[in-house]
Structure 1
Amino acid sequence: MSGAGKSTAARRLALAEGIPFHEMDALAIGPGWSTPTRFAEDVAALAAGDRWVVDSWAPAEVRGLLWSRADTIVWLDYPQWVVLPRLLRRSLHRSWTREPLFGGNVERWRDWLLPGHPFWHALTTFGRRRLAIADLAAAAPHARLVRVRRPAELPW
């Protein structure tokens, strides 16, 4: 879920285990919020490696590949009252500072008027996304599932 702390947790896990970390948004988002032409190929190359950490359930076009190759899935299954305030603060900060994001993109104030803005998207899809992640995890019996329900449960 956007705002749960996936990138921070994934970076810390990768550092603690000495495993390469890959930020999914950096791979998936190009200039103008576009998808880079080599996105699927780049993800396939990293998934072909023996050890890797990504910070996402992944866009649909590469999700099956990553989930089929994962040996461990860490699900930050936090309640809305944890995730949404974090996401709200982050998006407000990014809109205010115009901090460059992936592909040189920035969050703009006018983007808040769109239903696809990260905050509104998270607010309206939270329950459905939790169910979808639960279904994906159930369909990946080859992988060990670590379901974290509170930030304090993270060991790293």
Structure 2
Amino acid sequence: MALLTSEDAIPHRPRRVLVAGTSGSGKTTVARRIAATLRLPHIEIDALFHGPDWTPLPSFENEVDRFREREEWVTEWQYSKVRARLAERADLMVWLDLPRAQVMRQLVRRTVARRIRREKLWNGNVEPPLWTLCTDPDHILRWAWRTHGDTATRMAQLPPNLPVVRLRSRRQVAAWLAGPLRRCPP
């Protein structure tokens, strides 16, 4: 893994980008912004994974294999079944390594807002009732708290030639998106 900071120039114009981080760190938002800036297609991996009633779609792995063979894409790096396959094809990894407190603030706001609005997510799913935080050990808030440090372990297992931009704050994310990403070579 070739570690870059928010100020380092990107060595080449990426065509296949992964965005890593714990649940609630902002992966999808950052992936969309990268895709827009580089004019690459964004594939929201949650939409490929979640079927009705939050059941995994049987087509998930095939759909990932199909898009990963394309020349250009940006997606979120999650779901253990496909992480290695995506990392093999990626030419840039963006790691949102934000403090747990910040991630939890963001995730609580997002989860509560989605639930109150009954926002339709993938395949008609909505956030479960807020009281399930107390009963479901895999509720998104409990999951994010419990797995916050797991991304660092996964990063250590990446291919050594994959450039990784490590961003540790919202300020660094904004600076990188406005600076090195916009200035990357054509």
Q: Normalized against structure 2, the TM-score is what?
A: 0.77
Higher helix share: 1
Whole-angstrom distance in 1 between the partners of 2:36 and 2:152:
30
Partner of 2:91: 71
1:102 aligns with 2:142: no
Shift of 1:54: 0.2
Partner of 2:54: 33
SS at match of 1:4: coil
Please point out which of 22, 37, 44 is paired with 1:16: 37
Whole-angstrom distance in 2 between the partners of 1:131 and 1:77:
8
Shift of 1:130: 3.2
Larger radius of gyration: 2
Whole-angstrom distance in 2 between the partners of 1:33 and 1:81:
27
1:119 aligns with 2:141: yes
Q: State the Cα RMSD in Å.
A: 1.3
Whole-angstrom distance in 2 between the partners of 1:84 and 1:68:
30
Q: Normalized against structure 1, the TM-score is what?
A: 0.91
Partner of 1:143: 162
Aligned length: 152
For the 8 Å contact 1:98–1:108, the answer to whether it is kept is: no
Which structure has more relative contact order (CA 8 Å, sep 6+)? It is 2
SS at match of 1:103: helix
Whole-angstrom distance in 2 between the partners of 1:148 and 1:41:
31
Shift of 1:133: 2.8
Whole-angstrom distance in 2 between the partners of 1:81 and 1:46:
34
Whole-angstrom distance in 2 between the partners of 1:18 and 1:95:
32
Unaligned runs of at least 5 residues, structure 2: 1-21, 178-186
Whole-angstrom distance in 2 between the partners of 1:134 and 1:65:
14
Aligned structure 1 segments of 4 or more residues deviating by more than 4 angstroms: none
SS at match of 2:160: coil
SS at match of 1:86: helix
Shift of 1:111: 2.8
Whole-angstrom distance in 1 between the partners of 2:33 and 2:39:
10
